[in-house]
Structure formats: C-alpha cells, structure tokens
Amino acid sequence: MVDRHGTEAVLREVRRMTDPDAFGWHHLRSGAAADHQVGPLTWEQLLGLRSSGALGPADLVWHPALPQWIPAAQVQGLFPAADTQGPAQGPVRTALTMILNPGQAVRSALEDVPWPFCLGVSGLAFTLFFLQTMLDMHRVGTAGTGRVIGLTFLGLGVGTIGIGLVAALAWALARPLGCTRSLEWTIRAFCLAYTSTLVFAVVGLIFNLAAGWNTAIAFGITGALWAFHPLLGILKEMTGQKLAASLVLATVCGCLVLSVWAALSL
C-alpha cells in the first residue's frame, strides 16, 4: 500500500525545489572536473542556463534535498519531455547531428560515443581526402604509385593523431577562457566535427574513380572547410558561448589542419 503522507511530503519537496526563487542548485558539466561546478543557483537561473544551451540533459545537477548528483534530464520540469524521452542517440546519429545541428550535438552525451567510432570518422575522412589528392596528382603525372599509397596512410595519421593534437591545443587555449570540458570530451568532439569531411570525401572519391574528375579541391577542401561550423559550436560550448574567442580558435584550428594537408601532399 502506498504511503499517502510520504508521497505528499515528496511532492511538497519537489515543488519547493522547483519554485522560481528556490535556492541551492548546483551545476556540473558532463565530463568536467568536480571543482568546476557552478552554484548555488536559483531554479530560475538553472532554467536560464538550459534555455541558453549552457545546461544540457547529460550535465549533472545537485540540490541539498537530493542524495547525490543526478543528470539534469532526470529533474522534473527542467527539460521538456520531447528532449528527454525516447532512445538515446546512437553514434551515427550523433555524428550526423554534428553536421546539421552542432549545438545540439555538443550538448548530448558525447562521452557515450565509442572512442573507435570517433577516431574512425576523422581518420577515414582524412585518409580519403589524402587519397583523392594523390589520385589527382597521379592522374597528371606528379605522383607515383608509391607516393599515392604512402600519403594515403599518412592521411590516416593526420585524421587521428593530428586531429587529437589540434584538439589538445584548442583545449589548452580555451582553459584560461573558463573551459570546463575535459580533454577527452574535446578530442571526441573534434573528431566528430569532421563528419562533413568524411561525407564530402566519399562522394568526391566516387566521382574521382567513376568519372575521372580531380576532386581534392572541389570535394576534399570543401568538406574540411564545412567542419568549421561544428568546430565553432564546439568551441562556443567550451568557452561559455564566447563568440569572438571561439571564432579565432576555430579559424586557427581549421588553418592548422589545412596547412598540414598542404605541406604534406602538395
């Protein structure tokens, strides 16, 4: 039999915690260190963080009335039902969301996307990008078969180790700007940001092989430049929505990646 008085007490406590002026809420980014928690906040301030995108369903919240930190999605009334119901996004959907809506993607639980998948996206993207470049050069007689094979494998290194190093640089530069995301989260996000590069590389390779087109510029570079939008969204998330700083960091990161491609392949 349900304890009616106990149930009413719980409901009263929930109403007290979610009163607009209710004080004592704390917020911790998903994947952030414990010393980066924000609070105490009122319920109204917590709703403001949600509305601005600074609080995602996977982030953690705590209130003195709660026994422990819990995901924000579990707090009744904090997120609309449409945002929290239904199955969790799979890795493929998360990667595609990074192209179409990077703001939503970076607020999802990127920590749940497997490491091999993240590295596979950027690794395969740059492997095919470098392959297209070498096929173009081979077609005009400026690259032999050995160089085509060697630079293609080098593209794999750029897409995995290289992107990881660029992500680490961005994370280090964002730390003084108040970044609360972890290095692991940053590397995962940067790898997935190049989903667009992978899509363009696959389409470009099809035209390269089937029609004999030179596609490194039209498809390869276009795909790499398309990654600027997700990178900007990631860096805004890392810097607390500081647009100017995010634009500078995204430009630096994008230029670094293209500079490495140019230096190695041209």
Q: Residue 21: what pLDDT?
A: 59
- What's the pLDDT at 14? 53
Which residue(s) pair with 25 in the sheet?
A: 41
Structure tokens at 247: 């634009």
Give the per-residue pLDDT at 197: 97
pLDDT at 80: 66
Tens-binned pLDDT, residue by residue, of the chain (266 aa): 334 444 444 435 555 566 655 678 888 877 676 777 887 888 888 888 877 667 877 788 888 888 888 888 788 777 765 444 444 568 888 898 899 888 778 876 677 789 999 999 999 999 999 999 999 999 999 999 999 999 999 999 999 999 999 999 999 999 998 887 889 999 999 999 999 999 999 999 999 999 999 999 999 999 999 999 999 999 998 888 899 999 999 999 999 999 999 999 87
Q: Report the pLDDT value the prediction gives residue 15, as an integer from 0 to 100.
A: 52
Domain with CATH 3.30.1490 in the chain: 4-84
Q: Which residues lie closer than 8 Å to 72 by C-beta, 6 or more apart?
A: 27, 50, 55, 56, 57, 58, 59, 60, 61, 78, 79
Q: What is the pTM of this model?
A: 0.73
Q: Which of 121, 116, 118, 143 is nearest to 131 (CA)?
A: 143
CB 109, CB 58: distance < 8 Å: yes
Residue range 4-84 forms a domain whose CATH class is alpha beta
Check residue 105 and give its pLDDT.
82
Whole-number pLDDT of residue 54: 75
